[in-house]
């Protein structure tokens, strides 16, 4: 799934190491590709 930069999205899983929970709204600010080719957003 591709997300447009600078849009709000709702998390679908908890991320306790970051203090985030499923349902929290976050803003997509960057798209990156890991060395193994997996795409990600931050």
Q: What is the pTM of this model?
A: 0.70
Position 18 scores a pLDDT of: 94
Position 41 scores a pLDDT of: 87
Q: Calculate Rg over the CA atoms of the chain.
A: 11
For Cα atoms 40, 34, 24, give the angle at the middle one, nearest 5 degrees: 25
| Domain edges within the chain | 1-25
Q: What is the pLDDT of residues 16-42, one digit of tens each?
A: 999 999 999 999 999 999 999 999 888
2: confidence class by pLDDT, cuts 50, 70, 90: confident
């Amino acid at each position: 799934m591709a997300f447009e930069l600078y849009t709000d999205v709702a998390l679908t899983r908890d991320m306790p190491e970051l203090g985030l929970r499923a349902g929290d709204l976050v803003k997509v600010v960057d798209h990156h590709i890991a060395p193994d080719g997996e795409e990600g957003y931050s």
